[in-house]
Amino acid sequence: MAKDGEKGEWKEFIWNPRTREFLGRTGSSWGLILLFYLVFYIFLAGLFALTMYVMLQTLDDHKPTWQDRLATPGMVIRPKADDTFEIIYDLEKTETWDMYTEALNKFLDPYNNSVQAQKNDECVPDQYFKQEDSGEVKNNPKRSCQFNRTILEDCSGLNDPLYGYQHGKPCIIIKLNRVIGMLPGKSGVAPYVTCGAKKEDSEKIGELVYFPPNGTFNLMYYPYYGKKAQVNYSQPLVAIKFLNITQNEDVNVECKINAENIPIASERDKFAGRVSFKLRINNKN
C-alpha cells in the first residue's frame, strides 16, 4: 500500500495534472528560469568578447608587448651538425666533413652579395640604424642593412669553397641570437667576439683569425625590430678560422661576446653571451 502511495507521489511530482506543474514548477516558472539563464550567458559571452577586444587593441602587431627584461642574447655556432656542440672530422675522409661545408654553404646562401644588394640597404657603419615610430605613426616596414658574404673573406666559402676543412684550418661561424630592441656596445664601441681554449687545452688551440677584423658585430645591425617589422633582417656574423689547431686531440673552445652592456653568463643564465664547443681533427699522418 505504502508503495503504491509513493509511486503516486512520484508521478505527481513529475507531472501534476491538478496544478499543471512539471517537476514542481509551472510552465511560466520554467520559462522564466530559462530566460534568466539565456540572458545571463549572453551577458557573460559579451563581457568576454569585450575584454578580448580591449586586450587585442593594446597589442602591437609588430613588437611583443612583453619581453624578458634581462634579454641577454645567446650565441650559436655554424656548422651545427646535430644538437651536440661538436665538430669532429677526419682530415683524409672527405665524407666526414662534407656535411659541415654543405651546412655552411646553405647557411651563407642568403648572405650572397647579390641577395643582400637586392634586399637590404647600404647603411652608415659604426652607428645604430634607428627607425623609430613617431607616436601612433608606425615606421613600417623597416629597412635592414646589408651583410655581404664577402665580409667573411677566407671563411666566406667564395675563394675557398671548403672553408679550410680540407687543410685542417676550419672556419666556424658565430651569430648572436636576435633580441628585439637591443643596443649592444655602449659609447660607440661595437661588441666583438673572442674565442679561447678551456684551460687544459690552451696549448692546442693555435692561432685564430677573425672575420670581419677583430670579430666585431657592427653597430649598424642594431637595433633589431622584430620579424614582422623588419622582414629582411640579416643577422651579422663573425667567422673564426683556426690556423694551427692541434690534431688528433680534443680541443674545447669557448667564444664569448664582449660588450659593455651585455652581461656574460650570469647565475641566471649560464649560456648568455657565450658558446662552447669541441673541435677535433683526426689525421693519421
Ligand X SMILES: *[C@@H]1O[C@H](CO)[C@@H](O)[C@H](O)[C@H]1NC(C)=O
Residues that bind ligand X (CB under 6 A): 109, 112-113, 115-119, 122, 141, 143-144, 146, 148, 206-207, 213-214, 216, 231-232, 244, 246
Of 139 and 177, the one with the shorter C-beta distance to ligand X is 139
Of 28 and 159, the one with the shorter C-beta distance to ligand X is 159
CA nearest neighbour of 282 among 189, 187, 168: 168
Tallying the residues shown for the chain, one arrives at: 285
CA separation for the pair 65, 72 (Å, rounded):
18
CB of 144 vs ligand X, minimal distance in Å: 6
Of 145 and 272, the one with the shorter C-beta distance to ligand X is 145
> What is residue 231's three-state secondary structure?
coil
Of 6 and 132, the one with the shorter C-beta distance to ligand X is 132
CB of 194 vs ligand X, minimal distance in Å: 11
Of 42 and 231, the one with the shorter C-beta distance to ligand X is 231
User: What amino acid is encoded at 51 in this protein?
Assistant: T
CB of 178 vs ligand X, minimal distance in Å: 16
Q: Is there a contact between 198 and 252 (Cβ–Cβ < 8 Å)?
A: yes
CB of 198 vs ligand X, minimal distance in Å: 16
Q: 86-90 and 274-282: which strand pairing? A: parallel
CA separation for the pair 111, 282 (Å, rounded):
31
User: What amino acid is encoded at 205 in this protein?
Assistant: I
CB of 245 vs ligand X, minimal distance in Å: 8
Q: φ, ψ for residue 16 (rounded to 5)? A: -100, 105
